[in-house]
Amino acid sequence: MAMTGVLRPGHAQIRVLNLEESIKFYRDVMGLIETGRDDQGRVYFKCWDEQDHSSYIIREAPQAGVDFIGFRVLDEATLESLESDLNAYGVETRRLPAGDLLETGERVRFTLPSGHEFELFATKTKVGNGMPLTNPGPWCADAEKGISPIRFDHALLYGPNIADVKKIFVDVLGFFMVERVIAEDNTTEVGIWLSCSHKVHDIAFVEHPEPGKLHHCSFLMESWERVLRGGDIMSMNKVEVDIGPTRHGITRGCTIYAWDPSGNRFETFMGGYHPYPDYECLTWTMDNFGQGLDYPQRKLHESFLTIVS
Ligand SMILES: [Fe+2]
């Protein structure tokens, strides 16, 4: 499959209540690598196997949550073309200057009908994964610090108007639907899982009355054993766990959900499958949503359905 257009999740900027405590958490417990700080007080991290300068950025604020999610597109020409497609579709965009986010080029920012700030960018400095491009090893020393996920994989966002959100992602940005949850009327989509790649999801949305809410940012682990080891590290550090370890029916992901010290949920997961753009979307019905959420236990976890930041 030729990868063009929107490539992948590039970064998330997350609000935390206490910057120092959060730096310790993301660096020492999560095992992310700090790559910079800027004059706006933001701290930049990347996962060990990511090549780009940063994928997870935190800033101190009175309320937890997500400031914006950014996706990397193929190149600057693609950025311009998607910007004009968005405008033609009726989505108002604005450009943020290169360097506003460290080591990152111009970003095209817009507000989704769900109330989330979303952006596209084409340029971010590649800092590598700590291994040479010629004759690299399978992992580097940074892969053994804390939970040490491979990459920032996807986000699940809660907000209103997901039918309109879906149209923007599918009709304008070139994503395809991988899975969905439908309401009791057997028609209305209340949850959508979208891919712009070969991944089971690059972003997902659940219908929710409050706009702009974060359900979780997800970090990819190399194996189920690494997910379990991540759970050990969470317990050793008294991290508050929401669900897991378990497997979703939806996406088949094997997962643990937990909260950072500010109450932002995160996921460490592995697995899933590899859909192509001609894939036929899978549907989950509300009467079986317990299995979609937690396949072994078939349980609707109240906290998972209601707590967002
Ligand atoms: Fe997830």
Tell me, in angstroms, the distance from the centre of ligand 1 to residue 303's CA: 15
In whole angstroms, what is the distance from residue 86 CA to residue 28 CA? Answer: 40
Tell me, in angstroms, the distance from the centre of ligand 1 to residue 233's CA: 19
Residue of 24, 30, 26 whose CA lies nearest to 230: 30
For the CA atoms of the chain, what is the radius of gyration?
Answer: 18
- Parallel/antiparallel/unpaired status of strands 265-271 and 6-16: unpaired
SS3 159: strand
Confirm whether 257 is a catalytic residue: yes
What is the CATH number assigned to the segment(s) 6-124?
Answer: 3.10.180.10
Tell me, in angstroms, the distance from the centre of ligand 1 to residue 120's CA: 21
Tell me, in angstroms, the distance from the centre of ligand 1 to residue 216's CA: 7
**In what helix (H) or strand (E) does residue 226 lie, and over which residues does it extend?**
helix 224-236
Tell me, in angstroms, the distance from the centre of ligand 1 to residue 197's CA: 16
Confirm whether 216 is a catalytic residue: yes
- The β-bridge partners of 96 are 107
Tell me, in angstroms, the distance from the centre of ligand 1 to residue 18's CA: 25
User: For residue 256, what pLDDT is reported?
Assistant: 97
Tell me, in angstroms, the distance from the centre of ligand 1 to residue 192's CA: 12
Residue of 166, 248, 253, 170 whose CA lies nearest to 205: 166
In whole angstroms, what is the distance from residue 276 CA to residue 176 CA? Answer: 9
pLDDT tens digit at each of 309 positions of the chain: 578 899 999 999 999 999 999 999 999 999 999 999 999 999 999 999 999 999 999 999 999 999 999 999 999 999 999 999 999 999 999 999 999 999 999 999 999 999 999 999 999 999 999 999 999 999 998 888 999 999 999 999 999 999 999 999 999 999 999 999 999 999 999 999 999 999 999 999 999 999 999 999 999 999 999 999 999 999 999 999 999 899 999 999 999 999 999 999 999 999 999 999 899 999 999 999 889 989 998 988 889 889 999
In whole angstroms, what is the distance from residue 178 CA to residue 183 CA? Answer: 17
Angle at 177 between CA 172 and CA 182, to 5 degrees: 120
Residues 6+ apart with CB under 8 A from 140: 48, 129, 130, 131
Q: Could you tell me how far CA 71 lies from the centroid of its own chain?
A: 10
In whole angstroms, what is the distance from residue 228 CA to residue 120 CA? Answer: 34
In the block, tokens 């659940």 appear at: 206
User: For residue 76, what pLDDT is reported?
Assistant: 97
Tell me, in angstroms, the distance from the centre of ligand 1 to residue 217's CA: 7
Catalytic residue among 11, 53, 116, 154: 154
Confirm whether 301 is a catalytic residue: no
The boundaries of every CATH 3.10.180.10 domain in the chain are: 6-124, 151-306
Catalytic residue among 11, 53, 116, 201: 201
Confirm whether 248 is a catalytic residue: yes
Catalytic residue among 11, 116, 215, 216: 216
Residue of 173, 178, 43, 192 whose CA lies nearest to 110: 173
User: For residue 3, what pLDDT is reported?
Assistant: 81
What is the CATH number assigned to the segment(s) 151-306?
Answer: 3.10.180.10
Residue of 100, 102, 107 whose CA lies nearest to 122: 107
For the whole model, what pTM was predicted? 0.96
